[in-house]
Amino acid sequence: MSADIGRVRIRVPSSIKPGDTVRVRVLVIHPMEIVQRKDGQPVDKNYHFIDRVVVTYLDKEIGQFETTQSISENPFFSFSLKATQAGVLKVTFLDTHGAKYEGTTDIKFS
C-alpha cells in the first residue's frame, strides 16, 4: 500500500471539442492521516496528509484547493475545465511531509 503513495490518476472525457467545458476527475493514493486522540486530547505530531492541490493547464495555474484531514483517504477530486487549446493538464499534490506528487494528461481534440 505505502509503495503506492502518490500515484495519481487523471481522467478526462475521451472526446473533447475546442471550447468545451469538461469534467476532470483526479485520484491520488494517500493515507490522509487523521488526528489521534489520547485521553480525549489530540496528540500533537506531524500528521501526514495532503494540504494543497494545484491544477495547471497550459502552464497556467487555474485552480488551487486547500484541503484538510477531513477529506477521505485516497482523495478524489473533480472539477471543470474549459478546454481552449490542446495542451497539458497537470495536477500537483503537496502534503504536510514536504512531498510533491504530480499527474499529467494531454488535452487533445478529436
Residues that bind other proteins (CB under 8 A): 21-23, 25, 33-37, 41-42, 44-49, 51-52, 57, 60-73, 75-82, 84, 94-98
Could you tell me the smallest distance in angstroms from the CB atom of residue 76 to other proteins? 5
Rg (CA), the chain: 16
Considering the complex, state which of residue 25 and residue 108 has its C-beta at the smaller distance from other proteins: 25
Q: Supply 29's cell numbers.
A: 493514493
Could you tell me the smallest distance in angstroms from the CB atom of residue 3 to other proteins? 21
Considering the complex, state which of residue 15 and residue 80 has its C-beta at the smaller distance from other proteins: 80
Considering the complex, state which of residue 64 and residue 104 has its C-beta at the smaller distance from other proteins: 64
DSSP 8-state code for residue 55: E
Considering the complex, state which of residue 84 and residue 108 has its C-beta at the smaller distance from other proteins: 84
Q: How far is CA 6 from CA 1, 45, 100, in A?
A: 11, 21, 8
Residue 81: CB atoms within 10 Å = 18
Which are the contacts of 40, defined by CB distance < 8 A and separation ≥ 6? Answer: none
87 backbone φψ class: left, alpha, beta (φ>0; ψ -120 to 50): left
Could you tell me the smallest distance in angstroms from the CB atom of residue 14 to other proteins? 18
Could you tell me the smallest distance in angstroms from the CB atom of residue 56 to other proteins? 10
